[in-house]
Amino acid sequence: MGGSPLLGQVAPGDHVCWTVDDDATRIEAIAGFVRAGLSARHRVVYCGDDPEALLDGLERHGVDGRAAVEEHLLQAIPAEAVYLPGGVFDPEATLELWRGEIARIRAAGYPGIRMVADMTWASRRVPGAERLPWYEAQVNAFFLDEYVAAVCAYDRRRFDPLALRRLGWAHPGAVAARVPFEPRSSLRARRTHDPYGLRLAGEVDRSNREALRTMIEHLFDDGPAATVDVSGLAFADTAGSRILIEAAARGPLRLVGVSPPLRRLLDFHGAGGVAGLTVAPPD
């Protein structure tokens, strides 16, 4: 059983917003995503309303989830245990919880983590849920080193369309009904160490610029200066170019691999007059 192709190209480093509206398609796609993680001996984490139903669904699609739980390769936990331990969504506490969990899994020797988060809990108007878009943007910092892959499933039958749009903007990539995740039209950001900074690929537009903004905000967390390699960007809109320029206010920034179209956008927004910003064309 190959499973649905919707999530087939999601890889470590990807944080994807998945708007679902069909339960059969949902479990088929999750089964394929989980199967790929188990084959790679990754730690797979499912967080949702009904973990037992998830395990039953995996079994129907040829994935022995209960055996994987016994092997400590799969963890299926109620959403409330992660997002609502006190009945209130506290995004800072949730970020700290995931930060600790990722560190523990890494220390245990797993080569990667695959996460599926069923976000239905947030449709029930729990206290603090209004801060979910901020949380989804901040969590992008966990993906830059290509260790974690995560899919956040939002059921369009339960969420207001405007709320779904705002939540989608906080993710670098998206999946929808009959629209698989496509890396070339999504934004991929990866940490680099020599030189320190980020490597960007794909596209930056309205659908993911909030995710880019947050990743750029964290760019100087571990270094006083940074390089952003944009040679892999096939497209960047005008707002995306401004985000790159504004990053220079946080520290010396070098943009390398800048294509002629992006250079024109940067120049239009005054990049040449920004202290600490260096713009270099492709080699």
What is the rounded CA–CA span in Å between residue 134 and residue 151?
17
Residue 118 contacts residue 153 (beta carbons within 8 Å): yes
pLDDT single digits (tens) 121-167: 999 989 999 999 999 999 999 999 999 999 999 999 999 999 999 99
* Residue 194 and residue 176 share a domain: no
Question: Is 3 part of a structural domain of the chain?
Answer: no
* Residue 141 and residue 71 share a domain: yes
Question: Is 114 part of a structural domain of the chain?
Answer: yes
The tens-digit pLDDT sequence of the chain (283 residues) is 455 789 999 999 999 999 999 999 999 999 999 999 999 999 999 999 999 999 999 999 999 999 999 999 999 999 999 999 999 999 999 999 999 999 999 999 999 999 999 999 999 989 999 999 999 999 999 999 999 999 999 999 999 999 999 999 999 999 998 899 999 999 999 999 999 999 999 999 999 999 999 999 888 888 889 999 999 999 999 999 999 999 998 899 999 999 999 999 999 999 999 999 999 988 7
Number of domains in the chain: 2
Residue 142 contacts residue 99 (beta carbons within 8 Å): yes
pLDDT single digits (tens) 190-225: 999 999 999 999 999 999 999 999 999 888 888 889
Residue 212 contacts residue 144 (beta carbons within 8 Å): no
* Residue 199 and residue 124 share a domain: no
* Residue 21 and residue 128 share a domain: yes
Its domain, for residue 202, covers: 185-279
What is the rounded CA–CA span in Å between residue 239 and residue 242?
5
Distances (CA, A) of 263 to 32, 85, 209: 41, 48, 18
